[in-house]
Amino acid sequence: MDELRLERVLAAVELIPPGRVASYGNIGAVTGNSARLVGRILREYGSTVPWWRVTNAAGDHPVRPSERWMEHWAAEGIRLKPNRQGCRIGDHRADLAALAEAYAAHMRALGEEP
Protein backbone atom coordinates (compact mmCIF):
# COMPACT_ATOMS: atom_id res chain seq x y z
CA MET A 1 0.00 0.00 0.00
CA ASP A 2 1.33 3.41 -0.97
CA GLU A 3 1.96 5.16 2.36
CA LEU A 4 1.08 8.62 1.02
CA ARG A 5 -2.30 7.44 -0.34
CA LEU A 6 -3.02 5.78 2.98
CA GLU A 7 -2.20 8.91 4.98
CA ARG A 8 -4.21 11.15 2.65
CA VAL A 9 -7.37 9.03 2.97
CA LEU A 10 -7.10 8.72 6.75
CA ALA A 11 -6.50 12.48 7.08
CA ALA A 12 -9.59 13.27 5.00
CA VAL A 13 -11.76 10.94 7.09
CA GLU A 14 -10.52 12.62 10.28
CA LEU A 15 -11.76 15.94 8.89
CA ILE A 16 -15.41 14.84 8.51
CA PRO A 17 -17.25 16.77 11.23
CA PRO A 18 -19.18 14.90 13.94
CA GLY A 19 -22.79 14.37 12.93
CA ARG A 20 -21.90 14.33 9.23
CA VAL A 21 -21.04 11.61 6.75
CA ALA A 22 -19.24 11.39 3.42
CA SER A 23 -19.32 8.60 0.88
CA TYR A 24 -16.32 6.57 -0.22
CA GLY A 25 -16.56 8.43 -3.51
CA ASN A 26 -16.60 11.80 -1.76
CA ILE A 27 -13.40 10.94 0.12
CA GLY A 28 -11.91 9.57 -3.09
CA ALA A 29 -12.68 12.81 -4.93
CA VAL A 30 -11.07 14.90 -2.19
CA THR A 31 -7.93 12.74 -2.02
CA GLY A 32 -7.57 11.76 -5.68
CA ASN A 33 -8.30 8.07 -5.10
CA SER A 34 -11.02 5.64 -6.14
CA ALA A 35 -13.97 4.89 -3.88
CA ARG A 36 -12.89 1.25 -3.86
CA LEU A 37 -9.41 2.16 -2.59
CA VAL A 38 -10.93 4.36 0.11
CA GLY A 39 -13.03 1.39 1.28
CA ARG A 40 -10.02 -0.90 1.29
CA ILE A 41 -7.93 1.57 3.29
CA LEU A 42 -10.67 2.04 5.87
CA ARG A 43 -11.23 -1.70 6.17
CA GLU A 44 -7.54 -2.41 6.71
CA TYR A 45 -6.26 0.72 8.46
CA GLY A 46 -9.24 2.82 9.55
CA SER A 47 -9.64 1.77 13.17
CA THR A 48 -7.96 4.96 14.47
CA VAL A 49 -10.15 7.41 12.52
CA PRO A 50 -13.95 8.01 12.61
CA TRP A 51 -14.68 5.28 10.03
CA TRP A 52 -18.38 5.30 10.97
CA ARG A 53 -18.73 8.65 9.17
CA VAL A 54 -18.03 7.05 5.77
CA THR A 55 -20.88 5.37 3.89
CA ASN A 56 -21.67 4.17 0.41
CA ALA A 57 -23.30 6.57 -2.06
CA ALA A 58 -26.79 5.68 -0.75
CA GLY A 59 -25.85 6.53 2.84
CA ASP A 60 -25.74 2.89 3.88
CA HIS A 61 -23.03 1.58 6.13
CA PRO A 62 -21.12 -1.40 4.74
CA VAL A 63 -21.36 -3.27 8.04
CA ARG A 64 -24.82 -4.65 8.71
CA PRO A 65 -26.56 -2.99 11.65
CA SER A 66 -24.00 -3.08 14.37
CA GLU A 67 -23.81 -1.55 17.81
CA ARG A 68 -20.34 -0.26 16.93
CA TRP A 69 -21.40 2.27 14.30
CA MET A 70 -24.99 2.72 15.45
CA GLU A 71 -23.81 3.95 18.87
CA HIS A 72 -21.50 6.49 17.23
CA TRP A 73 -24.29 7.69 14.96
CA ALA A 74 -26.76 8.00 17.84
CA ALA A 75 -24.23 10.02 19.86
CA GLU A 76 -23.61 12.33 16.88
CA GLY A 77 -27.28 12.74 15.94
CA ILE A 78 -27.13 10.85 12.65
CA ARG A 79 -30.62 9.41 12.15
CA LEU A 80 -31.12 5.96 10.69
CA LYS A 81 -33.26 5.30 7.63
CA PRO A 82 -36.28 3.06 8.26
CA ASN A 83 -34.31 0.05 6.93
CA ARG A 84 -31.67 0.68 9.64
CA GLN A 85 -28.88 0.13 7.09
CA GLY A 86 -27.71 3.72 7.00
CA CYS A 87 -28.83 7.35 6.86
CA ARG A 88 -30.42 9.64 4.32
CA ILE A 89 -27.11 10.91 3.05
CA GLY A 90 -28.62 14.18 1.82
CA ASP A 91 -29.63 15.01 5.39
CA HIS A 92 -26.22 14.27 6.89
CA ARG A 93 -23.62 14.74 4.15
CA ALA A 94 -20.63 16.85 5.14
CA ASP A 95 -20.16 20.14 3.29
CA LEU A 96 -17.91 18.76 0.57
CA ALA A 97 -16.43 22.12 -0.40
CA ALA A 98 -15.50 22.80 3.22
CA LEU A 99 -14.10 19.27 3.56
CA ALA A 100 -11.95 19.73 0.44
CA GLU A 101 -10.75 23.11 1.70
CA ALA A 102 -9.88 21.70 5.15
CA TYR A 103 -8.09 18.77 3.52
CA ALA A 104 -6.05 21.07 1.27
CA ALA A 105 -5.08 23.26 4.23
CA HIS A 106 -4.12 20.18 6.25
CA MET A 107 -1.92 18.85 3.45
CA ARG A 108 -0.25 22.24 2.91
CA ALA A 109 0.48 22.43 6.66
CA LEU A 110 2.29 19.11 6.28
CA GLY A 111 4.30 20.49 3.36
CA GLU A 112 2.41 18.36 0.83
CA GLU A 113 0.45 19.35 -2.24
CA PRO A 114 -3.26 18.55 -1.84
pLDDT digits (tens, 9 = 90+) for 36-72: 999 999 999 999 999 999 999 999 988 776 778 999 9
Domain ranges of the chain: 3-109
Q: Under CATH, which number does the domain 3-109 receive?
A: 1.10.10.10
Contact present, 84 and 65 (Cβ < 8 Å): yes
The pLDDT score that the predictor gives to residue 65 is 63
Q: For the whole prediction, is pTM greater than 0.85?
A: yes
The pLDDT score that the predictor gives to residue 86 is 92
